[in-house]
Every structure is written in structure tokens, then in C-alpha cells.
Amino acid sequence: MNVTLRKIGNSEGVILPKEVLERFNLKSGDRLLVIEDGNDLRLRRASDDPEEFERKMKIARERMKKYEKTYRALAK
């Protein structure tokens, strides 16, 4: 399926066909992630799951603690 990049205000955007929106139960205001996959782009529904956010924050805190000296040196 081909879509065209279009000017939308001061940005550029892609208009998704109605059939795609219905198939994936998407509506105006839904958030999507753009994922770079080599030379390809993929769209994925953004997760608003608070548990997923907390899991990612836990991993980030662990890494920040583990590499604290390195991060401080890089911040100089």
C-alpha cells in the first residue's frame, strides 16, 4: 500500500487510509511510535501502560547506578 507524505501545517505527515485505521482500531489522537529498521520505517502503537513505564524506569535506574562514574565523567 502506497501513501504520500503531505504538508500538514509546519510539519509533514502521512494520511493512513480508512481501511488501515479500522483494521488496527486507530483513531485521531492515538499515539504511534516510528521505529527505524535499517532502511525501513515501521509504525507501532505507543504503550501507555504504567507498568511498562515503571519496568523501563527500573532498568534505567539500574544502569545509571552501575555506570554512575562514567556518566559523571561524560557530563563534564
Q: Cell digits for 74?
A: 561524560
CATH of 1-45, one of 3.40.1360.10, 3.40.50.300, 3.50.50.60, 2.10.260.10: 2.10.260.10
**Which helix (H) or strand (E) element contains residue 7?**
strand 5-8
50 has pLDDT over 80? no
- The DSSP code for 64 is H
| pLDDT given at position 46 | 86
Domains of the chain: which residue ranges?
A: 1-45, 47-76
19 has pLDDT over 90? yes
Q: Pick 27 or 47 by higher pLDDT.
A: 27
pTM of the model: 0.54
Compute the CA torsion angle 17, 20, 23, 27 (nearest 10 deg). Answer: -70
| pLDDT given at position 56 | 87
